[in-house]
Chains A and B, each alone.
Chain A
Amino acid sequence: MEQAVTTRMADRHILIEAKTSNFAVREVLDEALTLLAEWGVPAAATGSVHIVLAEALNNVIEHAYDFRDGGRFSLDMTLEGDRLATVIRDHGTPFPEGTPPDGDAVALGGPTESLPEGGFGWFMIRELTEDLSYEHAEGCNALTLRFLVV
């Protein structure tokens, strides 16, 4: 099984490269969380980053690469003061409308049998990030997610 590869680009700037597989998202997240702890990011802020990156990386596996193994993707993280910038890149299918989903809140009223089991991911990403932007160029998707990590 291929392991995630981490390159230290500069002080508090790293690039983690991996290929899609059953546990690739966990591997990349574990690397990222270890580094955030090293960089002194507080636990509550790290929790929010964990949630957002898990959703965005799951999206790469499920939608960019349609659950295929072996798809290349990367997570680039830079911390400057209390601003964390993350960029997730892949070479898979772009967002259908050329833009990430709105992530509207999911309605929860009604009987138990009709409770939703999905649709929460993009809502959480948008709630927990300061800023989100997306670019598709030359076959590469780049999703930038910025956080205030106080």
Chain B
Amino acid sequence: MDMSSRSEGALQVVTVNASRIDAAVAIQFKDSMRAETEGSAGRVILDLRQVDFIDSSGLGAIVAAMKQLGAGRKLDLAGLTPTVESVFRLTRMDTVFSLFPTLDAALMAHAD
């Protein structure tokens, strides 16, 4: 799964460069997220602006990615496109993750 990562101060921004996180690639997503986040500490913002669609496997993989971060680290989600956002709202997973409409909004929320 094509992703890229950068630091923004104490935050890590992981950008998914694929248009779908679904059953076909859920395991690769989990593995790639583990690789990107295991060497760092602190909050991670998952940039989903290029993702048009997730299914329940993709949702589960995002939950797994949050669990992989370990205690005390949060996974925030930014730039959710309409169908992706509707999956989070339908399953009430918008009560578990902080959702930001844009990457800037997510970055500003943590700027102290």
> Which A residues are within 8 Å of any B CB, using their own CB?
22-23, 25-26, 43-44, 47-48, 50-51, 54-55, 58, 61-62, 105-106, 108, 112-113, 115-121, 123-124, 127-128
Identify 14 new A-B residue pairs, CB closer than 8 A, beyond the known A25-B22, A58-B57.
Answer: A22-B24, A26-B22, A47-B82, A48-B86, A51-B86, A61-B23, A112-B71, A115-B63, A117-B60, A117-B63, A118-B56, A123-B91, A124-B90, A127-B90
B53 part of interface (Cβ distance < 8 Å): yes
Cross-chain contact A55 with B56 (CB below 8 angstroms): yes
Shortest CB–CB separation between residue B49 and chain A, in angstroms? 17
Chain B residues with CB under 8 Å of chain A are 20, 22-24, 53, 55-57, 59-61, 63-64, 66-67, 71, 82-83, 86-87, 90-93, 95-96
A112-B67 contact in complex given A47-B86, A54-B55, A123-B91, C-beta closer than 8 Å: yes
| B22 A50 Cβ-Cβ under 8 A | no
CB distance from A19 to the nearest CB of B (A): 15
